[in-house]
Amino acid sequence: MRKDPPVATVNITAAGTGDAIQLGPIRMRVLEDGSRTDNRIGAVEIIVPPGVAGPPRHLHRMHDETFLILSGVLQFTVGDTRRDAHAGDYVVVPVGAPHTFANLSPGPVVVFNSFTPAYYVQYFRDLAHLAATDGLSPDLIARIMANYATVPA
């Protein structure tokens, strides 16, 4: 007699739910932290206020990252090249690509950000915890990045 495989559970993170992470002026909402995907994928929603730069330029040694611009315009710097990504644009940052972003526009930018594997969500949580307790210096950020196979570029 044949046995059917177990039925997987489908999860929905409803609008307005999910863990909130505050990194300075940047707000994040955790959509998937890897706990429901065996760490195969992580995803967050990011809101970048106008005039705010993202992280220091860095590269990842173990995970790919993507950005789907939901609203606004986000300027990406990859290597020495700067490009604006507009609502509807999809940016793929593979392992080893030095990158950062900034919102130079007059309005907020909303971004869907994914990474695989998912462990990078914990990087954001660690940064938020330290920012709230000890403050963040470039040296401290670099040490936290190193815990997640990420290095300043």
Residues 8-63 pLDDT 10s: 789 999 999 999 999 989 999 999 999 999 999 999 999 999 999 988 899 999 99
**Quick one: CATH architecture of 20-152?**
Sandwich (2.60)
Domain ranges of the chain: 20-152
- Contact between 131 and 79 under an 8 Å Cβ cutoff? The reply is no
The answer to whether 103 and 74 are in contact (CB under 8 A) is yes
Give the E-state strand segments of the chain in sequence order.
20-23, 26-32, 42-48, 58-60, 64-71, 73-78, 81-86, 90-93, 99-102, 109-116, 150-152
Answer whether residue 124 shows pLDDT above 80.
Answer: yes
DSSP bridge partners of 47: 27, 110
The two tokens of residue 6 are 């177990």
Q: What are phi and psi of 95, to 5 degrees?
A: -50, 135
